[in-house]
């Protein structure tokens, strides 16, 4: 059985939503809190080149990420959570603009979107629960697929633009050994999974983790640069 080494998660996938950005967060049943959030008076909380991001956009994005992981939304997101999602939505809009400029099509992301949707269906347990979760989210299946396509387009953009800047051969052996000793072994012991595998068995996986960490650093710098070239406005809640 292959040993699991946790991959670095793209920032937007941690809470966004897509972006460092790509974290994750909604829910299948018991979404009364989210429904109540949607009933509040909507307002603009940010804009990118004049395109508005509203309070309901942030609440729905928060819910969508939970929904992807099959997690219930036990309470409406507070101001801090919504501010985090708002920032990730800004990142997402910037990266989708770059994807458009590089002709990264949504059609090419259809298969990835379908696979992701199938995973959510599986977590829901049955079709009735799945459809109920969509209604609680306030989205149609087509809208969910569109969002999943956007997520995949962003990931493809990042791979195309940033991975060539961090070749696996650019990761020093000493860095891999340091990660193994200081991060992998303590985490493995914490999980109580028995004897840790030797470095040779997990070296390639650790190398990929380190590549992704470098890519995340490049991504953050890229986003900061994009923000200086676009009109970004952020409003308090």
- pLDDT tens, 171-229? 999 999 999 999 999 999 999 988 999 999 999 999 999 999 999 999 999 999 999 99
> Rounded CA gap, 55 and 60, in Å?
9
CB 88 within 8 A of CB 17: yes
- Both tokens of 12, joined, read 């937007």
Q: What is the mean pLDDT of residues 87-114?
A: 96
| 3-state secondary structure (DSSP) of residue 10 | coil
Q: What is the mean pLDDT of residues 146-164?
A: 96
Q: Please list the helix, strand and coil fractions of the chain in percent, rounded to the nearest 5, in that order.
A: 65, 5, 30
2: left (phi over 0), alpha (psi -120 to 50) or beta: beta
- Above 70 in pLDDT, residue 80? yes
Average confidence score pLDDT of the chain: 84
CB 185 within 8 A of CB 193: no
Diameter over CA atoms, the chain: 57
Neighbours of 204 (CB within 10 A): 12
Q: What is the pTM of this model?
A: 0.79
132-156 as b/e: b if 16+ CB within 10 A: ebbebbbbeeeebbebbbbbbbbbb
Q: What is the pLDDT of residue 33?
A: 36
Q: What is the pLDDT of residue 109?
A: 94
95: Cβ–Cβ under 8 A, 6 or more apart, which residues?
18, 19, 21, 154, 157, 158, 223, 226
- Cα–Cα nearest to 59, from 237, 223, 227: 237
- pLDDT tens, 42-70? 899 999 999 999 999 999 999 999 999 88
174: Cβ–Cβ under 8 A, 6 or more apart, which residues?
none
Task: Spell out the domain ranges in the chain.
Answer: 11-164+230-234
More confident residue, 6 or 169: 169
């Amino acid at each position: 059985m292959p040993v699991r080494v946790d991959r670095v998660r793209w920032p937007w996938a941690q809470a966004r939503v897509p972006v460092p950005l790509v974290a994750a967060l909604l829910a299948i049943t018991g979404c009364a809190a989210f429904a109540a959030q949607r009933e509040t008076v909507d307002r603009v909380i940010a804009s990118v080149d004049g395109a508005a991001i509203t309070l309901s956009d942030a609440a729905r994005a928060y819910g969508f990420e939970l929904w992807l992981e099959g997690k219930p939304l036990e309470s409406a997101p507070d101001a801090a959570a919504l501010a985090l999602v708002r920032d990730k939505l800004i990142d997402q809009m910037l990266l989708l603009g770059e994807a458009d400029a590089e002709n990264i099509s949504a059609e090419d992301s259809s298969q990835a979107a379908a696979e992701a949707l199938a995973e959510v269906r599986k977590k829901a347990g049955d079709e009735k629960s799945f459809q109920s979760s969509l209604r609680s989210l306030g989205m149609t299946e087509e809208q969910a697929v569109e969002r999943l396509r956007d997520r995949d387009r962003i990931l493809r953009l990042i791979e195309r633009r940033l991975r060539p800047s961090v070749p696996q051969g650019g990761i020093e052996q000493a860095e891999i050994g340091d990660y193994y000793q200081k991060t992998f072994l303590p985490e493995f012991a914490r999980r109580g999974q028995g004897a840790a595998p030797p470095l040779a068995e997990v070296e390639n996986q650790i190398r990929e983790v380190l590549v992704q960490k470098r890519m995340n650093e490049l991504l953050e710098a890229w986003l900061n640069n994009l923000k200086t070239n676009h009109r970004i406005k952020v409003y308090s809640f």
